[in-house]
Amino acid sequence: MNITAKQFKNFSDLVYNECGINLHDGKEQLLKARLAKRLRSTGINSVDEYIKLLGNDNQELIDFIDAISTNHTFFFRESHHFECLENSHLKIWCAACSSGEEPYSIAIYCLEKGFRPTILATDISTNVLRLGERGVYPVERAKNVSSRILRRYFQKGQGKWEGHIKVKDELKKMVIYKRFNLLTESPPLRELDVVFCRNVLIYFDSMVKEKIINKLYSVLKLNGYFVIGGAESLNNLNHRYKYVKPSIYKKV
């Protein structure tokens, strides 16, 4: 598939304005691959026609943003970040939860430590939220999970579901899924103990990063924790968080 420089700019401007993701020139192949899937799904052959559709069809716009923003994850990714969690932390927000591996991992960690928080799990992608609510995953996503934890919190797939695992209802009841746009919407909850926003800031420029991290600061309780990904930093950004250790910040 070929797209012109003008078409690429149209798509990158749209994605930036809708969700803050910066599709710079190095992301052209990613855009082409995700765009090709949407063209096949809609039956449209012309890129210009598809651009017009995005301006008139809100559901297709959501599906397009879904396709661009979806990323791979797995259970207990960077699990050392969970060590900041304490039994007084009963309201937790996973602000970029993807397909649910992060909030379920946090739920397991907390149950193993003897407490049961409520976890709000949000993402801009409706497709990954549906996957999280369903709670069925290829077993490879649990490569960092011990056999004891797998037996305790997951069901093993049989027959056509061999090679998959399903989250047990005990975990599902702890997690509330909701679509949320970090860039454009007001936070759905306040007075939160911990906010996880991991491995998403890397897609934004400094202006968008500052807008998002300060929006999330406003919903934390005093002494609440803000957790970002290991490849991310708040250096050179205007914010009021206190640095605790790599990836971990606190509202003071």
Residue 92 bridge partners (DSSP): 119, 194
| Residue 73: pLDDT band with limits 50, 70, 90 | confident
| Residue 151: pLDDT band with limits 50, 70, 90 | very high
Domains of the chain: 5-69 (1.10.155.10), 79-135+170-251 (3.40.50.150)
**With b meaning 16 or more CB within 10 Å and e meaning fewer, what string describes 91-118?**
bbbbbbbbbbbbbbbbbbbbbeeeeebe
Mean pLDDT of the chain: 93
| Residue 23: pLDDT band with limits 50, 70, 90 | confident
State residue 117's pLDDT score. Answer: 98
| Residue 70: pLDDT band with limits 50, 70, 90 | low
Residue 119 bridge partners (DSSP): 92, 175
Q: Is 34 a catalytic residue?
A: yes
The beta strands (E) that lie in 12-108 are given as: 91-94
- Res 19 pLDDT > 70: yes
Instruction: Point out the catalytic residue in the list 34, 116, 152, 179.
Output: 34
Instruction: Point out the catalytic residue in the list 63, 66, 123, 193.
Output: 123
- Res 150 pLDDT > 80: yes
Cα separation of 246 and 215, whole Å?
A: 21
| Rounded to 5°, angle at Cα 203 from 201 and 208 | 65
| Residue 26: pLDDT band with limits 50, 70, 90 | confident
Cα separation of 244 and 85, whole Å?
A: 13
Cα separation of 250 and 194, whole Å?
A: 9
Q: How far is CA 242 from CA 43, 59, 147, 245, in A?
A: 51, 40, 37, 9
- Res 69 pLDDT > 90: no
CA atoms lying within 13 Å on the CB side of residue 208: 18
Give the SS3 label for residue 92: strand
State residue 27's pLDDT score. Answer: 80
Q: Is 198 a catalytic residue?
A: no
> What percent of the chain is modeled with pLDDT above 90?
81
192-239, pLDDT tens digit by residue?
999 999 999 988 999 999 999 999 999 999 999 999 999 899 999 999
Strand pairing class (164-167; 136-138): antiparallel
- CB distance 231 to 198 below 8 Å: no
State residue 212's pLDDT score. Answer: 96
- CB distance 111 to 104 below 8 Å: no
- Res 44 pLDDT > 80: yes
